[in-house]
Structure 1
Amino acid sequence: MSASLSDSSQSSTAQITKICENGDVILAVGPKVKIQVASDFLKHISPVFKAMFDSPMSEGEALRNKSPDSPITISLPEDRGEAMTRLLRILYGADDVELGFKAFYNVIILADKYGMTERLKHFGSSWVRMDTDDNNSDLMYSQDCWEKLVISYILNDNSAFFKISFRLYTLARCVINQALELPDKMLGLKLALAIYELRDDNEC
């Protein structure tokens, strides 16, 4: 993760999404998105942010020394702005969670990065349920299965993970490309290897 302080004066020139009114932190996420939020809220939902703000790191020092009416700006250039906005809205209770699958996939990958996965379990369980249609071997269906496999793994939903991994095994499609497209490539390769081992075991 790459986080850094940036000049808070730059925040006034861009539209800011307010998660918490009068928040003392502005997250500059990706190239364009700015989100105003309370540091106490971030520390409550994420051990990563808690460590960042409670430690002697530059972000923590800036927060402790800031003036009352001037939020500090934390730059998160590697993250997806839309996904961060949705994630914070969901956990703040300001979002109805009616997202497309790809949007939720991006949200849960980001949640895993910041240690918020446990808090998303309630919202995420419905997104890994699927009808295992034996007649459907379409490439897009295979992609959906792969993404749901990743989500069920991150959510520790063992029942869904078993069903989806078996479905991917029966589809007999290559999943290496999807594995390498994940932000966490090691996780992607681990899951891809598990699918291939399942196929090998059943072909013996």
Structure 2
Amino acid sequence: MLDLKICPGCGDRADIPVVTEGQLVCARCGHRRPFHRLPLLALTGPSAAGKSTVGPELARRLSGEVVVLEQDVLWTAGLRDDVDGHPLFRSTWLRMAAMIHQSGRPVVLCGTVVPPEFEPLPERVFFSSIHYLALVADPGALAARLRARPAWREWDEPRIAEMLEFNDWLRADAATMSPPVSLFDTTDATLEAAVDHVEAWVRRVTSADRRSGSPGAAPAH
């Protein structure tokens, strides 16, 4: 599938993609093309809250309906060296998800991301909406899970403290973000309960999108 930033008419690459009336429009040659503008679902939260545990079971349950991807797959090379919120890394993920969406199946992206890191990016225009669900946990439980991880994952105390701070921030401010971030506490939840909750969220978002039957709205860039 062609990168949606590249015009199939003239081959120009748009740094700032333009969508008008549900179609991609090339700023250079004016070529217009329809595309699948689907919602993106971001399953976020701090490390050890349960994203990587929930993801495989979610993929099994929703096989053929959505594509479940792990963010860390692209956490490599120059993308890892990116700074200030890692915009290049996140833009690459949005481009990848948008290309997968052209198959007609929404993407569930499992990784640590919050609205201020996705919403301002030029590639945000490829999606009708982005929905965020964060798995969080009690700080004590989260710290214990991180300390129990194998040594190669390098979870020292300063790094654990940073993740606990992120967890606390999400729990305090999720509802005030734009768009708001939903929360699910995994402290005492079973895997089945966590997957049930995430599956219901995915089905609710995708069903609402199908009922709307419209390309949706995205920020202007």
Q: One fold, TM greater than 0.5?
A: no
Q: Which protein has the bigger strand share?
A: 2
TM-score grouping bracket, smaller chain normalisation: 0.3 to 0.5
User: Greater share of helix residues, 1 or 2?
Assistant: 1
By relative contact order (CA 8 Å, sep 6+), the higher-ranking structure is: 2
TM-score normalised by structure 1 residue count: 0.33
TM-score normalised by the chain length of structure 2? 0.31
Bigger radius of gyration: 1
